[in-house]
Structure 1
Amino acid sequence: MTIRKLFILMLLSAFCVHANAQDDITSNINTPLLEKYIELAKEYYPKRKMFKASELSAKAKIGVAKASYVESLNASYFYRPDSRSIIDVVNPYSVNGFQFGVNLNLGMFFRTPYLVKQAREEYNSASFQTKEYDILLASEVRQRYYEYLQWQMNLKVKNEAYIDNKTASDGLRFKFEKGEVSLDVYTKAKVLTNSAHSDKLESELNMLRAKEALETLMGKKLEEVK
């Protein structure tokens, strides 16, 4: 077997494995699981919690603004014993018993509807910001999930290519020991095997990075999500 034929054979083997594995990437997308990842990210990710807290705070301000209606009213009462005389310099009321009064702060009363409207608009704004971030966060989770699947499948490809190359290299080693192939042929096969092993390790590292990036959004290991 010539070096050229050996090289072509090993490349074709790796290419076939790569092509077959690529066909399975789309079918490996687990939509229900992906939706769980998105919901977990919404529950865990700190920045999303910040937007949600701002939304709830703005909602609470609506109630505070409505309470201004009550603050614009001031009710009071006074009690004068029946035994007191009608004319009293210290307590100059003309009626004995309970007396009630209500004061209305017109400025605050007419300002309150505008305060309520302002509070509602601030709540709507905060709510829209939360919804916008939910969309962006969901998109980020999907992108990281797809990237994780890509590197997971890539690792499978590289691993199979490494196994094929190693199998071929081991076979040539036995032939080399028997004197059936030259040292140059065996050395070339070892170089291809080492290169395939290096590619496998690089893919594994990228897969782990993609996995960690996805887990960072959810606050959980992928193995913990079922």
Structure 2
Amino acid sequence: MNRIFTVVIVLLLTAFAAPQSLRAQNSIVSDISEPYLQKLIATAKANYPRVKSLDERVAIAQNNVSRQRLSYLDALTFSYVYQPNTTLNLNALQPGNVDGSATGVNNRTSIFKGTQFGLFFNLGSYLQKPFAVKQARRELTIANNDVQEYLLTLATQVRKRYYTYVQRIASLKLQTQAAIDAEGVMKDVKYRFEKGEVTVESYNQARISNTQQIQAKITAETDLFTAKADLEELLGEKLENIR
């Protein structure tokens, strides 16, 4: 009869402690801050290395569009030729020259004299430019789409990890309260055991329950630190620095 009474007492103490821990944290909705979450998303977009790489690809694509537009000028080729009125007679300068052209200068008549300029147009190259510009624009569009797609993905990842982080905080609060309650129950059972009111089995069961709650609290702490690290991986910054 005494043993049954002891078991009933332990169960009542545990049942009394459990609802208090549940009332302490029965929802995480009130702990979620949408403004703070938006700050986290903005921080991730500003710091995450892949976002920066995608932005660089967009910049490269924009430069390529500008380069292809300017390449229309490649179809035009400018050149010039200089035609002097007189030329140097190299034979007259050779040793032993006896033909009387000792001056080494030939007077010659040419249709074109002086400097002539030329502008050449490559039709085939010109016709290819619209396709090159269109291709560059498509590459720019793809680069912009890749950025927008990844920003959506990154925002979703931040949201999920933030929710997990908040959930881990709530779980730790529950486990902390449960550990406190289990310790209180154990102390009460220990007191009753020392007075001879409960059996050694009941006392050992209370000790085991207390140890399990402590272990559950340690696990909850580890889960919280892991969730925090996962979230900070996307942010590129400590949560404590984001207010």
Over the matched positions of the two proteins, sequence identity in percent amounts to 33
Q: Which residue of 2 aligns with 1:40?
A: 43
1:9 equivalenced with 2:13 (yes/no) = yes
1:198 equivalenced with 2:218 (yes/no) = no
1:131–1:38 Cα change, 3 Å: same
1:181–1:94 Cα change, 3 Å: same
Equivalent residues of 1:68, 1:108 under 8 A apart:
no
Match of 2:25, SS state, is helix
Equivalent residues of 2:76, 2:120 under 8 A apart:
yes
Q: Deviations over 1:157-199 (max 9, x none)?
A: 0001111111221122223223333323222221211111111
1:14–1:54 Cα change, 3 Å: same
Q: Which residue of 2 aligns with 1:94?
A: 112
Structure 1 residues not aligned, in runs of 5+ = none
Measure, in 1, the Cα distance between the counterparts of 2:172 and 2:192: 30
Measure, in 2, the Cα distance between the counterparts of 1:104 and 1:4: 102
1:159–1:88 Cα change, 3 Å: farther
Equivalent residues of 1:3, 1:188 under 8 A apart:
no
The AA in structure 1 aligned to 2:73 is V
Q: CA RMSD in A?
A: 2.3
Measure, in 1, the Cα distance between the counterparts of 2:12 and 2:229: 37
Match of 1:188, SS state, is helix
TM-score, normalised to structure 2, is 0.81
Measure, in 2, the Cα distance between the counterparts of 1:11 and 1:59: 67
Match of 1:181, SS state, is coil
The AA in structure 2 aligned to 1:57 is I
How far does residue 34 in structure 1 lie from its aligned partner after superposition?
A: 1.4
1:215 equivalenced with 2:232 (yes/no) = yes
Decide which structure has the larger Cα Rg and report it: 2
Equivalent residues of 1:65, 1:112 under 8 A apart:
yes
TM-score, normalised to structure 1, is 0.86
Aligned residues: 220
Equivalent residues of 1:14, 1:164 under 8 A apart:
yes
Q: Which residue of 1 aligns with 2:134?
A: 117
